[in-house]
Amino acid sequence: MISSHVRLIASLNKDLIFRCLIDGSGSDPKEKKSAMGKYVLKRIIYSIFSLLVVVWAVMLLVYSLTDRSAIFQTDDVWNKRSNNDRVLYEYTQYSKYGYLEFVNFNNYSKQKWTEVYGEAYDSAKEFVDDKAAIQKTGEAYLDNATVQEFINYYSSKGYNIIRLDTQKYSTGKTKPGGTGYLLAVKERLMIVRLFDYIKGLFTIETTKDVADESLTDRYIRVEKDPYGGPFAVVGSGTTHKYLFYFDSRFPFIHQNWIHLNLGVSFTRFRGQEITSVISEPAGDLKTIRTQYPAQLGTDIYVDTASDFHTLTYNMGELTAAEKEQFNDKYTIATYRRSGLSMLENSFVIGIIATVIEYFIGLPLGILMARKKDSWIDTVGMWYIIFIMAVPSLAYIFMFAAIGTRVFNLPYKFANAEIKVLAYILPTISLALPSIGSLMKWMRRYMIDQMNSDYVKFARAEGLSEKEIYSIHISKNAMIPIVHGIPGTILGCLTGAIVTERVYSVPGVGNLLTQAINSHDNGIIIACTVFYTTLSLISLILGDLLMAKVDPRISFESKGGR
Amino acid sequence: MANNVNVKAVNEDELFTFINNDSIESEKIIAPRYSYWKSVFRVFFRKKTNWVMLGILALLLICTFVIPVFCNYDPNENVTVATMFNQSPVNAMKATGGFSFKWCLGSGQLGNSIFYGIWASARTSLLLAVICAAINMTVGILMGAVWGYSKAVDKVMLVVYSIIANIPYILMISVLVYVIGAGFWSFVFALTITGWVSISYFFRTQVLIIRDREYSLASRCLGTPITRIVSKNILPFLTSVIVTLLATELPSYISMEVFLSFIGVGLSASVPSLGRMIQEAQTAFLSYPWEFWPPVAIASLLTIILYVLGQNLADASDPRTHM
């Protein structure tokens, strides 16, 4: 895993250096800057293109080749329903998860007669007749005019008409859930699904979001924040009331303006939005003493977990209590929860491990190169071989066994009494292997540099070994290492699969594998987008950072092979 | 080397004697006969650790391919005998009456023999690694050679590569295994369908570097056919690169199988595999260590030995070490 990642980056490096050597370097800085801008733009466009191709390919694989009915294996509602009701439920779920578009005849006739009779549609004779028609067995239902209309209309639009005949016992009584249905169903094309998915990825709130016509006063403006922050951007007509605000929770600056929607979970977090699943904490409710918006300034305090920064618009009628507590119709708040979100858990572990990795791995790599063929080098090489060759699982369990037996550290994350201690073993398990691979590459690059002419020249000039190593060699050897830094940092956001699984860390690393095990296609697609985007961004950032560190690298693409 | 020069009878008094001036003999250039592979193995076997490693590898291979032939591993043989579940080696041997190799590592969750299990599983892992490495290396090297040599192919393949390289490898394999099922051959398919691309890319760069070297250019100017350039100018240079690649690829498939089975997208339950054994034992790895550590040890031993031997062979196959 690690090796494939490192190899990929290393080979890209070589390519870039290769290209740069051919391109030459002595161009003036202004030209260089514009060439860089052009290069970055090209890379971004290219990255977006490959992201689209990847997502489309994964959608094609996952949505068309897997058994879509697997989502019902753990579905309680599905288990409770039977006969036709169950089939109808399946179609509802499929359409909810974007597999198909479907129209129920009952809704169609309801809509039709509402237009004619208004609110009194369900007592209208035609509506009752239409309803009864569907319950007839055999072909008898086709006599009804509305049914004919429905079939003709949707057939012409490319829908399949599906008729679920009323299921009856031999006594003539309808079986439970056996009522007849008439449905029009159309499979959605993969390219349409991709397009819709991409379109829905980002939503920006505007003052036109709330469809309530009674709301006339629509604005977005900066106001004084009554709940702690210095100021807040408040919207009316937007879905959220507070679009931009500060509070005491990490990362202290929050916004509800732009939403990233990675899709909906199918089975694991049934129906929940994946973005909120991974970014919101799932601990216990946290109550604090605060005041309702309408009671601000009075001495009425309330202990609640509701976070009034997250208020959203209430489309229904307000209760009497709500009218007393709120000035406007923004009354729905989410609860404050303690603990860290999945994303934060993974990131905390990852980032600490990364810091340890660079602070220990780099000096050790340099030391190994300096003391080449000494015992330090031999011991280091055996460590590297061990890390490179042995399946990561083996040594993670080894660390777990040593940590729990010898140092008495908590093993499973959830069982830890002191929460901080629970982070120690996952962090170490993540850092130690990375130290190995970093040592390997640092040593390799150092040794490559040690034989180059400029080192011999520096030595001939009379520089001390210490100066040569610290000023000349390490600086040059660091260049390829620098390329991997953005990837390592952004990689913390994707979590670590094995480590998180072994220690049961509630992080994002496990998300993909659990999704696969529970047939959650929604999460699989979301993970694809998330991981691929992160790896694309880190490659671009890595190249840019490397160009920043090494002035010899230019992005002009003239000449070449 | 046989000395072909005729030596006259040595005069006791003189240290130097005249020899016949043989014009035909003097035209011959006498150089030590050089055989590439002979030198490779001479350098390779000079290291004592390689002998030890080869010995262990041979032992492991014999165990892996001979034991499953004679001792059929049936994971469900004791599935109805609850007293045999999760038995430590001592208890398992006591229960079956005295010492036996079969129970010398205890029994697993369903009363299966761990000792037989690890060898049957190691066989799967090794076969998987060898098959995947063979396919990926062959396709990768052939494609890489074409890719490096033809500029038209290069343009197309660079686009394909940049797309495939952008997909996280784990993601792709897990999704593929999830989609096409978890049998042995579908696993091979998932590992090889795109696995060759990165090898190919690596190889392309190597070919590119050597293709434009001066001696290759000179050879082309002199009219050497492409096949000869490839086989005589380029391939010998790449032998050590190929061996290095093989040394990292072979163990990586074993690790990959262990990893994927562990996260639950690996081989199906009907195929014994190291990853699966580890995955089944991992929840109780502190309470039933005999179920967990043997498969881990075998997997680690196999990968380490293959890796070290491969690296040493790669070092030996570099002609610069043949001095």
B55 pLDDT band (50/70/90 cuts)?
A: very high
| ipTM, two decimals | 0.73
Per the omega criterion (within 30 degrees of 0), is the bond before A251 cis?
A: yes
Check CB contact of B299 with chain A, cutoff 8 Å: yes
Interface size, chain A vs chain B, as Cβ–Cβ contacts under 8 Å: 136
Q: Which residue has the higher pLDDT, B106 or B143?
A: B143
The mean per-residue pLDDT over the stretch B255-280 comes to: 81
To which residue do tokens 């058994």 refer?
A: A67
Asked if residues B93 and B100 have their Cβ atoms less than 8 Å apart, the reply is: yes
Check CB contact of A481 with chain B, cutoff 8 Å: no
Check CB contact of B258 with chain A, cutoff 8 Å: yes
The pLDDT assigned to A355 comes to: 93
- DSSP-derived letter for residue B30 is -
CB contact residues (below 8 A), chain B span 260-289, against chain A: 262-265, 278, 282, 285-286
The answer to whether the CB atoms of B255 and A388 lie below 8 A apart is: no
Contacts 24+ apart (CB under 8 A), A495-498: A495/A342, A495/A346, A495/A350, A496/A346, A496/A349, A496/A350, A496/A426, A496/A430, A497/B170, A497/B259, A497/B263, A498/A392, A498/A393, A498/A396, A498/B259, A498/B262, A498/B263
The pLDDT assigned to A356 comes to: 93
**Structure tokens that stand for B175 in this block:** 């999704």
CB contact residues (below 8 A), chain A span 191-230, against chain B: none
Contact residues, chain B, for A391 at CB < 8 Å: 254-255, 258-259, 296, 299-300, 303
CB contact residues (below 8 A), chain A span 360-419, against chain B: 385-386, 388-394, 397, 400-401, 404-405, 411
How many angstroms separate the CA atoms of A326 and A268, rounded? 35
To which residue do tokens 């469809």 refer?
A: A211
Facing B307 at nearest CB: one of A389, A532, A536 = A389
Q: In terms of CA atoms, which chain B residue is nearest residue A536?
A: B166
Q: In terms of CA atoms, which chain A residue is nearest residue B301?
A: A390
HEC string of A68-80 equals: HHHHHCCCHHHHH
Contact residues, chain B, for A386 at CB < 8 Å: 304
Q: For A475-487, how does the pLDDT look when each residue is reduced to its tens digit (9 = 90+)? A: 888 888 888 888 8
Examine the pLDDT at B83 and tell me if it is beyond 50: yes
**CA angle, A12 then A18 then A24, to 5°:** 135
How many angstroms separate the CA atoms of B303 and B248, rounded? 9
pTM, to two decimals: 0.79
Most A CBs within 10 A among B56, B132, B136, B171, hence the mutation to make, goes to B171
Of all helices (H) and strands (E), which one includes residue B2?
Answer: none
The pLDDT assigned to A258 comes to: 87
Q: In terms of CA atoms, which chain A residue is nearest residue B164?
A: A54
Facing A532 at nearest CB: one of B167, B292, B304 = B167
Burial status of residue A171 (CB atoms within 10 A of its CB: 0-12, 13-18, 19 or more) = exposed
Name residues of chain A where pLDDT drops below 50. 1-27, 558-561
Examine the pLDDT at B202 and tell me if it is beyond 90: no
Contact residues, chain A, for B125 at CB < 8 Å: none
Check CB contact of A535 with chain B, cutoff 8 Å: yes
Q: For A124-156, how does the pLDDT look when each residue is reduced to its tens digit (9 = 90+)? A: 788 888 878 888 777 777 888 888 888 888 999
Most A CBs within 10 A among B118, B167, B201, B307, hence the mutation to make, goes to B167
The pLDDT assigned to A31 comes to: 64
